[in-house]
């Protein structure tokens, strides 16, 4: 059973002539234990997709099953509880409450769950130990470095043992060395069996992922399974928008680029998926 | 969770101390004025009742002017708050004369104010009040002389004086200035006695007997130019049972003497009490009303600061919702914050009231009495106001859409 299952999910903003299509008929299944990286140009709908998966936002159309259960009919409070118990968020910035000590930030989801103070602090302390920041437990977020803040945010995301960790550009504000520390932590967490979904603009970071999604204009253009440790090659844009080619042509061109990449195995695996994905007409491109 | 909210509320109030304090001014002023006005009123009432009880139920007070409207049974039905005492003629010696002839009267003491600054060697005492009275005065007040004695009837034309304890200290600089003499309007007076300290400073006429110099009223008359004008006659009946009779008789005689004009008032001990109590209750009610309005304004202040706070903390709300806070949990957080704010206001108000009370006791002769019921009431009202006015901001916070809140630029 998939942790995440989206069927024909769309998200529209505005109405009439001003309508923006942020997501268009997205199909996505994420299995337990995957580390999925999402890439794509700005405005392609990555954050929108994450917010819908994270139950912060609702899709305009389509079906969404989280842990096998449909979430469309959940009321706001039930959604809040589902966020608390099944989803761990790591944001790009303002990840922590500035007035709460590190340990209280980590323990906050437990507080909302109604756990007693002693137990909360103990669990939060264990979690801080896991991310290597136990000695900073009683600092305020303003006394931490950017990388430390993100590691605390990861500790908090983990505290309720969620089904999926959602990170929207977790290293977006960090320099390369802190960024590496944060990614190593995510890798560790992934190795312990957690499911991770991460948006990034840095192709380097796809090295940690087991699967990479490329989004363009509200759709998932490519979905590549890859081996962890290798960097996914950024697809060249023209290949998507080859003028009215047959399916074979497209397939070939995709295969060609794939062979170019160091990831031949992955290319084979993705081929069937790409067939479906590349069915899109270039009309949409014109529309934009 | 409640406890956490409480702590968070405290820390967010602490982080903007000045702003919180300014917001709370309305609540603070409200609490202070409720507590202070009620305790002042209560204190004054007690002081007056102590004082009139000291007179005893067999003492009548005759004052010029019509202060009370009474029905046929002698019950007070109305009060002239702005009494015309100043426009009506004072009581005269002939009024005293007819009063003395009234049956069943044991003793009468007229009170007559004399202006003048007493001087002793190089010293003088500005706050001194000079009262002309008769030999019956200590008996009517049941006040003992601590040193020396009161002047007797054979000395009613002499320049002798009995003084309050305050005068002894302030004018003579000693406790027992017996047979010392002081100068008043160019006349030498000899001190015959010193009163025991009056426990309850008389405030009904704004006179503190501890600062008073008592001289025979005939002497008072002669040194102040020939006429005696009494501001009060104290009349003691021979028995409390005869008080009604004496009162009626007295009223008839004095009215007759004043050509039928009833421009004077006869008060019994409890009448004086009723009079002042009613006035005080009225004032307390007025100040209390203003205080409640002030608290409402304070409530609006709390609402305002909470609305600002909700807007400022939109991202925080978004983050909290993202990690699983329900609408109810967000709402209770902000509601608790508003409540904590108003509890602070009430607390500061109570402390200021306490200090004010202390100040009043030290610097005036009033003795306000803070009653815990009033403190509880004032705090209760301000906390309820905090909750009511905190509700709208809390609901606003709870209803924020998580994604919009997270995206907000703040
Ligand atoms: N609240 C909104 N109202 C209207 N349009 C919106 C709103 N939020 C997002 N959009 C639009 O939806 C599209 C997708 O936005 P989204 O934030 O998902 O992009 P993104 O891929 O995360 O971009 P970036 O890499 O810059 O973060 C954009 O065209 C954006 O303008
Ligand atoms: Mg984004």
Ligand 1: residue of A9, A10, A20, A52 to mutate (most ligand atoms within 8 A of CB) is: A20
- The rounded distance, in Å, linking the Cα atoms of B27 and B35 is 12
Question: Nearest C-alpha to atom 7 of ligand 1 is from which residue?
Answer: A13
CB nearest to A111's CB, from B4, B11, B316? B4
The pLDDT of residue A46 is 94
pLDDT at B87 over 80: no
Contacts of A114 in chain B (CB under 8 A): 1
Q: Which pLDDT tens digit goes with each residue over B131-187? A: 999 998 888 887 888 999 999 888 888 999 999 988 898 888 888 888 899 998 889
The arithmetic mean of pLDDT across residues A220-230, rounded, is 86
Fold of A31-62+76-225: Rossmann fold (3.40.50)
| Cα→Cα distances B194→A118, B167, B197, B238, Å | 72, 9, 9, 27
The arithmetic mean of pLDDT across residues B386-391, rounded, is 93
Inter-residue contact A146 to B36 (CB < 8 Å):
no
Helix runs in B313-371, H state only? 314-322, 327-363
Helix, strand, coil percentages (3-state) for chain A, rounded to 5, are 45, 20, 35
The pLDDT of residue B102 is 87
Higher pLDDT residue, B12 or B217?
Answer: B217
Place of tokens 């005759």: B62
The arithmetic mean of pLDDT across residues A175-192, rounded, is 91
Nearest to A251 by CA among A275, A235, A224: A275
pLDDT at B77 over 80: no
Chain A residues with CB under 8 Å of a chain B CB are: 51, 54, 56-57, 76-77, 80-81, 83-85, 89, 91, 94-95, 97, 99-100, 104, 108-109, 111-114, 117, 156, 160
Inter-residue contact A59 to A113 (CB < 8 Å):
no
The pLDDT of residue B216 is 93
Q: Which residues contact A9 (CB under 8 A, 6 or more apart)?
A: A23, A25, A26, A27, A28, A52, A59, A61, A62, A63, A64
Interface test with A, best of B321, B324, B402 (most A CBs within 10 A): B324
Nearest to B217 by CA among B110, B124, B322, B137: B110
**Cross-strand pairs, B213:** B130, B163
B323 touches chain A (CB under 8 A): yes
Cα(A47) to ligand 2 centroid in Å equals 4
The arithmetic mean of pLDDT across residues A6-21, rounded, is 89
Inter-residue contact A83 to A166 (CB < 8 Å):
no
- The rounded distance, in Å, linking the Cα atoms of B156 and B96 is 15
Cα(A262) to ligand 2 centroid in Å equals 28
Q: Which pLDDT tens digit goes with each residue over A22-64? A: 999 999 999 999 999 999 999 999 999 999 999 999 999 999 9
- DSSP 8-state secondary structure symbol assigned to residue B172: I
Inter-residue contact A88 to A100 (CB < 8 Å):
no
How far is the alpha carbon of A100 from chain B, nearest alpha carbon, in Å? 8
Question: Nearest C-alpha to atom 16 of ligand 1 is from which residue?
Answer: A45
Tokens coding A169: 């550009």
The arithmetic mean of pLDDT across residues B191-209, rounded, is 73
Inter-residue contact A282 to A264 (CB < 8 Å):
no
Inter-residue contact B214 to B133 (CB < 8 Å):
yes
Tokens coding A74: 């959940």
The pLDDT of residue B206 is 61
Interface test with A, best of B312, B317, B323 (most A CBs within 10 A): B323
How far is the alpha carbon of A145 from chain B, nearest alpha carbon, in Å? 20
Q: Which residues contact A182 (CB under 8 A, 6 or more apart)?
A: A147, A150, A151, A154, A170, A171, A174
Ligand 1: residue of A41, A47, A51, A60 to mutate (most ligand atoms within 8 A of CB) is: A47
Three-state secondary structure call for residue B120: strand
Contacts of A99 in chain B (CB under 8 A): 8, 11-12, 15
A254 lines ligand 1 (CB under 6 A): no
Q: Which pLDDT tens digit goes with each residue over B21-35? A: 888 888 899 899 889
Tokens coding A38: 């999402």
Q: Count the Cβ atoms, other than its own, within 10 Å of residue B162.
A: 25
pLDDT at A247 over 70: no
How far is the alpha carbon of A123 from chain B, nearest alpha carbon, in Å? 16
User: Taking the CA of residue A103 as centre, how many other CA atoms within 13 Å lie in the half-sphere pointing to its CB?
Assistant: 17
Residue A11 has φ and ψ, to the nearest 5°, of: -135, 125
pTM of the model: 0.67
For residue A77, the surrounding DSSP H or E stretch is helix A76-86
How high does pLDDT run on average in chain B? 83
pLDDT at B114 over 80: yes
- The rounded distance, in Å, linking the Cα atoms of A51 and A55 is 6
Decide if A56 and B322 are in contact by the 8 Å CB cutoff.
yes
The arithmetic mean of pLDDT across residues B60-85, rounded, is 61
Higher pLDDT residue, A283 or B195?
Answer: B195
Return the HEC string of B169-199. HHHHCCCCCCCCEEEECCEEEEEEEEECCCC
The pLDDT of residue B263 is 80
The pLDDT of residue A263 is 46
ipTM of the complex: 0.80
The pLDDT of residue B138 is 87
Confidence class for position B54, pLDDT limits 50, 70, 90? low
- The rounded distance, in Å, linking the Cα atoms of A213 and A38 is 5
Higher pLDDT residue, B70 or A239?
Answer: B70
Inter-residue contact A273 to A223 (CB < 8 Å):
yes
Contacts of A91 in chain B (CB under 8 A): 319, 322, 406
Q: Which pLDDT tens digit goes with each residue over B234-269? A: 888 888 888 888 888 888 888 888 887 778 888 776
Atom of ligand 1 nearest to the CA of A48: 18
- DSSP 8-state secondary structure symbol assigned to residue A81: H
Q: Count the Cβ atoms, other than its own, within 10 Å of residue A250.
A: 20
The arithmetic mean of pLDDT across residues A78-96, rounded, is 91
Decide if A99 and B12 are in contact by the 8 Å CB cutoff.
yes
Nearest to B294 by CA among B34, B36, B21: B34
Domain range list for chain B: 2-49+276-408, 57-267
Contacts of B403 in chain A (CB under 8 A): 51, 56-57
How far is the alpha carbon of B291 from chain A, nearest alpha carbon, in Å? 35
Confidence class for position A277, pLDDT limits 50, 70, 90? very low
The pLDDT of residue B290 is 85
Inter-residue contact B46 to B276 (CB < 8 Å):
no
| Cα→Cα distances B303→A5, B20, B22, Å | 44, 12, 13
Contacts of B316 in chain A (CB under 8 A): 97
- The rounded distance, in Å, linking the Cα atoms of B55 and B143 is 10
Tokens coding B105: 């009267």
Inter-residue contact B221 to B176 (CB < 8 Å):
no
Question: Nearest C-alpha to atom 1 of ligand 1 is from which residue?
Answer: A13
Q: Count the Cβ atoms, other than its own, within 10 Å of residue A32.
A: 14
- The rounded distance, in Å, linking the Cα atoms of B67 and B56 is 21
A270 lines ligand 1 (CB under 6 A): no
- The rounded distance, in Å, linking the Cα atoms of B378 and B350 is 9
Contacts of B325 in chain A (CB under 8 A): 80, 84, 112
The pLDDT of residue A285 is 43
A172 lines ligand 1 (CB under 6 A): no
Mind giving me the DSSP string for A135-191?
GGTTS-GGGS-HHHHHHHHHHHHHTT--SEEEEESTTTTS-HHHHHHHHHHHHHHHH
Report CA B113 to chain centroid distance, whole Å.
Answer: 23
Task: Classify residue A253 by burial, with Cβ atoms within 10 Å: 0-12, 13-18, 19+.
Answer: middle
């Amino acid at each position: 059973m998939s942790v995440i299952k989206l069927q024909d999910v769309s998200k529209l903003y505005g109405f009439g002539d001003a309508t923006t299509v942020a997501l268009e008929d997205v199909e996505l299944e994420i299995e337990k234990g995957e580390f999925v990286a999402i890439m794509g140009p700005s405005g392609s709908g990555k954050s929108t997709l994450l917010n819908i998966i994270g139950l912060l936002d609702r899709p305009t159309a389509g079906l969404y099953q989280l842990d096998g259960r449909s979430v469309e009919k959940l009321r706001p409070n039930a959604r809040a509880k589902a966020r608390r118990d099944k989803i761990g968020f790591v944001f790009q910035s303002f990840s922590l409450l500035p007035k709460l000590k590190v340990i209280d930030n980590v323990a906050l989801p437990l507080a909302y769950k109604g756990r007693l103070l002693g137990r909360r602090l103990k669990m939060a302390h264990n979690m801080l130990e896991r991310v290597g920041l136990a000695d900073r437990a009683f600092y305020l977020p303003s006394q931490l470095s950017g990388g430390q803040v993100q590691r605390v945010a990861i500790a908090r995301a983990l505290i309720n043992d969620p089904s999926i960790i959602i990170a929207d550009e977790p290293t977006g504000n960090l320099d390369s060395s802190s960024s590496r520390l944060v990614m190593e932590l995510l890798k560790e967490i992934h190795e312990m069996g957690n499911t991770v979904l991460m948006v990034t603009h840095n192709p380097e970071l796809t090295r940690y992922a087991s699967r990479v999604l490329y989004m363009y204009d509200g759709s998932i253009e490519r979905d590549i399974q890859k081996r962890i440790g290798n960097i996914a090659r950024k697809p060249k844009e023209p290949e998507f928008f080859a003028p009215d080619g047959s399916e074979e042509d497209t397939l070939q061109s995709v295969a060609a680029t794939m062979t170019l990449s160091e990831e031949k195995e992955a290319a084979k695996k993705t081929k069937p998926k790409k067939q479906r994905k590349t069915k899109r007409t270039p009309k949409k491109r014109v529309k934009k | 969770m409640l406890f956490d909210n409480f702590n968070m509320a405290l820390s967010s109030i602490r982080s903007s101390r000045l702003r919180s304090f300014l917001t709370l001014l309305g609540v603070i002023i409200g609490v202070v004025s409720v507590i202070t006005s009620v305790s002042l009123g209560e204190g004054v009432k007690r002081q007056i009742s102590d004082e009139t009880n000291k007179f005893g139920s067999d003492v009548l007070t005759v004052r010029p002017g019509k202060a009370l409207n009474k029905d046929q049974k002698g019950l007070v039905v109305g009060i002239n708050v702005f009494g015309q005492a100043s426009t009506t003629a004072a009581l005269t010696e002939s009024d005293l004369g007819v009063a003395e002839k009234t049956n069943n009267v044991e003793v009468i003491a007229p009170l007559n104010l004399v202006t003048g600054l007493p001087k002793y060697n190089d010293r003088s005492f500005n706050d001194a009040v000079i009262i002309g009275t008769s030999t019956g005065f200590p008996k009517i007040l049941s006040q003992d002389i601590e040193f020396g004695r009161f002047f007797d009837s054979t000395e009613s034309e002499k320049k002798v004086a009995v003084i309050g304890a305050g005068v002894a200290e302030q004018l003579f600089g000693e406790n027992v200035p017996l047979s010392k003499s002081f100068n008043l309007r160019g006349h030498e007076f000899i001190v015959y006695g010193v009163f025991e300290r009056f426990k309850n400073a008389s405030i009904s006429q704004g006179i503190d007997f501890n600062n008073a110099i008592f001289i025979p009223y005939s002497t008072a008359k002669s040194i102040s130019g020939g006429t005696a004008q009494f501001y009060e006659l104290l009349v003691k009946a021979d028995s409390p049972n005869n008080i009604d009779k004496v009162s009626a008789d007295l009223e008839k005689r004095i009215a007759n003497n004043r050509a039928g004009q009833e421009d004077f008032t006869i008060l019994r001990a409890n009448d004086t009490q009723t009079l002042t109590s009613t006035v005080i209750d009225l004032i307390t009610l007025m100040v209390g009303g203003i205080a409640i309005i002030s608290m409402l304004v304070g409530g609006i202040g709390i609402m305002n600061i909470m609305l600002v706070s909700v807007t400022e903390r939109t991202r925080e709300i978004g983050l909290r919702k993202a990690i699983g806070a329900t609408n109810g949990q967000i709402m209770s957080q902000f509601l608790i914050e508003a409540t904590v704010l108003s509890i602070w206001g009430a607390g500061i108000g109570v402390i200021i009231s306490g200090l004010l009370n202390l100040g009043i006791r030290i610097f005036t002769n009033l003795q306000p009495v803070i009653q815990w019921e009033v403190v509880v009431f004032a705090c209760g009202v301000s906390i309820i106001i905090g909750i009511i006015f905190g509700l709208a901001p809390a609901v606003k916070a709870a209803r924020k859409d998580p994604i919009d809140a997270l995206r907000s630029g703040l």
